[in-house]
A = this chain, B = another copy of it.
């Protein structure tokens, strides 16, 4: 079987997750190319990560990955400020690129990356944005149910991403609180997921937004927090549907609650990442006496991705999204089909985030995306 030599740029928490994806996916899915964990890159300590995670080699310079002829795939898991430079160089060098979200720290960068991706795709080289929560089986099932028309006319969507790691006033200053590295706070880190999931599940695109972002705890460890920790916004999809979105790092007690609920005239779906093996489904066409939200345990072979994993009732965890992502990415490469979310999809999310930021600066004015 043909192999795909992979280089991963970055080796923080996301590096561990992506490593697990590359390691595990080929053991469960039948792939048409065999990924090889060839090179990990980090400015310091990359060799330790190589040994820890099982990469064949390491480097302190991402350019080595771009220049090595034997590298087929570059997987970018660095903070957002370096995404554009690496991704564009990699694509132009003919490497397939998987890039963590948010795609970039600005729309301009994301646009340049998307342009590079378009050029590359013409040569059969593909780029993909790493919104792994699309790959939670229950989220994909939600998308499938909406796409099937089971919910009828969609009336409205509510989505949120609630975390609480900043509720403690004594929580330390980290790079995610520095705008020059992270681009934004709750907005780019977690609202990005809520936006992507909304667009993925509904199959529609946000066209205008109105909202407010705020920094509730402006200083930590004596350092100024330069990003938002709370984002509240309304948006309208191209289908005309209104969406209510909230992203916060101060929702005390909520650890990782990425939620979406879609209401239609024939039914509804509701999902919460904290209960990721379930999907709530309401069938408004059922006999009236039997209507209610059904808790579908999304662990059956008929459910997305599950046939590759375990028997019914044997649940998956956070990291499985990364294996499922590798599967879809490799499938795209080997079938010469653009994998989704593409860089264009990532750019669209970036535009939404930028519009929210601008709306907040203009008194919640409705602005086009």
A252 at the interface (CB under 8 A from B): yes
A203 at the interface (CB under 8 A from B): no
A263 at the interface (CB under 8 A from B): yes
Q: Roughly how many angstroms separate A132 CA and B267 CA in the complex, as a whole number? A: 30
The chain B residue sitting closest to A256, CB to CB, is B313
Q: Mark A211-242, 1 if CB is under 8 A from B, else 0.
A: 11010100000000000001010100000001
**Stretch of A95-103, A243-251, A330-338 with 4 or more beta carbons under 8 angstroms from chain B:** A243-251
Is the Cβ of A167 less than 8 Å from the Cβ of B52?
no
A207 vs chain B, min Cβ distance (A)? 14
Is the Cβ of B252 less than 8 Å from the Cβ of A284?
yes
Chain B neighbourhood of A265, CB < 8 A: 167-169, 252
Is the Cβ of A296 less than 8 Å from the Cβ of B291?
yes
The interface residues of chain A, by DSSP majority, are classed as mixed
Is the Cβ of B253 less than 8 Å from the Cβ of A284?
yes
Q: In chain A, residues 256-285, which have Cβ atoms closer than 8 Å to a Cβ of chain B?
A: 256-257, 261, 263-265, 267-268, 270, 273-278, 281-284
**Stretch of A16-24, A76-84, A107-115, A194-202 with 4 or more beta carbons under 8 angstroms from chain B:** A16-24
Q: A52-B27, A317-B315, A365-B364 are in contact. Are A230 and B252 (CB under 8 A)?
A: no
Chain B neighbourhood of A254, CB < 8 A: 313
A2 at the interface (CB under 8 A from B): no
The chain B residue sitting closest to A158, CB to CB, is B246
A328 at the interface (CB under 8 A from B): no
A124 at the interface (CB under 8 A from B): no
Q: Roughly how many angstroms separate A365 CA and B210 CA in the complex, as a whole number? A: 9
Chain B neighbourhood of A151, CB < 8 A: 252
A180 vs chain B, min Cβ distance (A)? 23
A168 vs chain B, min Cβ distance (A)? 7
Is the Cβ of B316 less than 8 Å from the Cβ of A318?
yes
Is the Cβ of B156 less than 8 Å from the Cβ of A248?
yes
Q: Which 10 A-B residue pairings sit nearest by Cβ, starting from the closest? A: A255-B313, A256-B313, A253-B282, A317-B317, A314-B318, A252-B268, A292-B296, A252-B263, A294-B294, A316-B317
For the complex with contacts A16-B28, A252-B263, A289-B302, 18 further pairs of A-B residues with Cβ separation under 8 Å are A17-B310, A24-B24, A27-B53, A155-B250, A165-B311, A168-B265, A168-B284, A212-B234, A252-B282, A253-B293, A255-B312, A256-B311, A274-B313, A286-B294, A288-B302, A291-B296, A315-B318, A364-B366
